[in-house]
Amino acid sequence: MGDAEFTEYVTARASWLRKVAYLLCGDWHRADDLVQTGVTKLYTNWHRANKAWNLDGYVRKTLVNTFLAEQRSSWQRLVDLRGTDDDPATPELDREAVLDLRGALAALPPRQRAAVVLRYYCDLPVDEVARTLGCSLGTVKSQTARGLQTLRRLLESQPITATPES
């Protein structure tokens, strides 16, 4: 597939990718950097892509891997440097609940957070989450279970429901 298809795909999926990235990292600017990196890697391998390729799965995996790798590197210090002054004013309505969840997500270790986002936001089955994270089904189950446990503890005032993993 050529450049036109690449542009078409990224244009259509950029907003979704950005939301996934935002839930992973909790910051819109870092989310943009994650998407930029994911899209770059997609372009690097675009010549291998074809209609049968799971493009969404590939980019999602790239996004998650980049996020997890950045937790261990100093890159985030560099990529955060630009664009720090364009946050629009945010409306007051329903902010409290949303911010509580964002804070609770931020408290999760990165792999637990990734597992929760993939399982409950991307609505992926456990085996697909395992493929994305490069780990076993059991690990996904334990990561999401521990993540849910922490979220429930942190969000005591707004109990959450979620399908159990086991």
Partner 1 sequence: MTDLTSALAELADEPAPPMRLDLDRARRAGRRRRRLRHCSIAGGAAVILAAGLTLPQVFAPGEPPDQGVALPAAEGASTEHNPLRAYADFGWLPDSIAGVGYAVGAHGDNTLARGLGEFPAYIWLSVYDEEPGLNGQQQQAFAGEPARVPAEVGGRQGYWLTADARDPINGGDSYLRWQTEDGRWAELNAYYLNVPDPQQTLLRVAADVTFGTEPVPLPLRISELPANFRVEDALLSRPSGPDGGWDMQLIYNVNGGRVTIDVQPQDQRGMQDGAACKTEKGLRACVTVHQPQAVELDRIGGVQGVLDRITLLGLDERDWTTRVVG
End-to-end Cα, the chain, rounded Å? 41
Q: Shortest gap between Cβ of 74 and partner 1 (angstroms)? A: 6
| 49 contacts partner 1 (rule: CB under 8 A) | no
| 19 contacts partner 1 (rule: CB under 8 A) | yes
Question: Of the candidates 147, 66, 149, which has an alpha carbon nearest to the alpha carbon of residue 113?
Answer: 147
Supply 28's token pair.
Answer: 């819109």
Question: Of the candidates 2, 78, 87, which has an alpha carbon nearest to the alpha carbon of residue 36?
Answer: 78
| 91 contacts partner 1 (rule: CB under 8 A) | yes
| 121 contacts partner 1 (rule: CB under 8 A) | yes
Rounded Cα gap, residues 112 and 35, in angstroms: 20
List the one residue from 55, 117, 124, 154 that touches partner 1 (CB under 8 A): 117
| 120 contacts partner 1 (rule: CB under 8 A) | yes
| 131 contacts partner 1 (rule: CB under 8 A) | no
Question: Of the candidates 152, 130, 116, which has an alpha carbon nearest to the alpha carbon of residue 26?
Answer: 116
- On whether the CB atoms of residues 71 and 110 are closer than 8 A, the answer is yes
Binding residues for partner 1 (CB under 8 A): 3, 6-7, 10, 14-15, 18-20, 22-23, 28-29, 32-33, 35-37, 39-44, 46, 68-69, 72-75, 77-79, 81-83, 86-88, 90-91, 94, 97-98, 101-102, 105, 116-117, 120-121, 123, 134, 148, 151, 155, 158-162
